[in-house]
Amino acid sequence: MSTLLIAMAAMATVSLAACTTAYGPQGLRSGASIDEVTASLGKPTARYPRGGGERVEYARGPYGKHTYMLDFDTQGRLLKWEQVLTEPRFDALRLGTSREDLLFTLGHPSEAKPLPHQSRILWSYRYEGPFCKWFQVGLDGTGQVVDTGYGPDPLCDDYQTSISAK
C-alpha cells in the first residue's frame, strides 16, 4: 500500500471521528434522556414547553429541508420524534394560527422576509419533495397567520441555471 493511500485513509478516519453528531434522530431509542439526545444530535435549534414536558427542535440541512421535533415527558425522556416539514402538516395549518403555535408545529423557517408595504413578514419553509417548491406563510403585524401557499423555490432556479451553464 502506498504512503499516499495510507495518509488518505488516516485523514478519512480522523474526519469521520470528528463528525460525532448525527443528522437525525432515527437511531435514538424511546426513553432516551435529553442529555443523551443532545450528545447525539448536538445543540437544538429551539425548545418549547409542552404540558409539563418539552418539545425540542432540530432544524437540519441541506438548505433546511428537514426539521425534527422531539417530544419529551416531564422526566426529560424521549416519547417520540417526527420530521415536520411535510405537505400534510403544511396543509393542516390554519389561518389565524399564532406565531408561537407555528414555531411549535413547523419550527423556524428556512427564510424570513419582511413585506413592509403589506405590513407582513413572509416565512418560507424548504422541504423534500418531487418538485422544487417551498411552503410560504404570511404573518401579519400581530404574528397571526394570514396567508399560506406553495411556490417555486428560488434556489432551484439558481441550481438549474448553474447546470445549464456547464
Q: Specify if 5 maps to a domain.
A: no
Supply the pTM of this predicted model: 0.80
Segment 20-31 mean pLDDT: 87
CATH number, domain at 88? Answer: 3.30.1450.10
Q: How far apart are CA 7 and CA 33, in angstroms?
A: 39
Q: How many residues comprise the chain?
A: 166
| pLDDT tens digits, 135-165 | 999 999 999 999 999 999 998 865 444 444 4
| pLDDT tens digits, 44-76 | 999 999 889 999 999 997 678 999 999 999 999
Q: Specify if 122 maps to a domain.
A: yes
Q: How far apart are CA 60 and CA 110, in angstroms?
A: 10
pLDDT at site 44: 96
Domains: count for the chain: 2
